Amino acid sequence: MSKFRNALRNDSDVLDQIQLNLNQRGRRFPNWTYDLHPDFLLEALDSTRELRLNLELFPWVMSEPEIF
């Protein structure tokens, strides 16, 4: 998360997208299987939208119910 925030703070003028990987790390958070907290993902979406950057999320493993 700190690398993401540093990139936005220091390099946003040379970036056009940011990619985050969603790794499954067990059930660290209730009802959420990924290692990045949902609140951080919302912060990332808001931040990149404000800076007009594309935010790409790549889940490494995903089950169909998580999509819907």
φ, ψ of residue 67 to 5 degrees: the values are: -75, -35
Locate the domains of the chain by residue range: 2-62
Residue 67 has pLDDT above 60, yes or no: no
Q: What tens digit of pLDDT does each residue of 23-60 get?
A: 887 666 777 778 888 899 999 999 999 999 999 998 87
| pTM of structure | 0.73
Three-state SS at 24: strand
Question: Could you tell me how many residues make up the chain?
Answer: 68
β 17-22/24-29 pair status:
unpaired
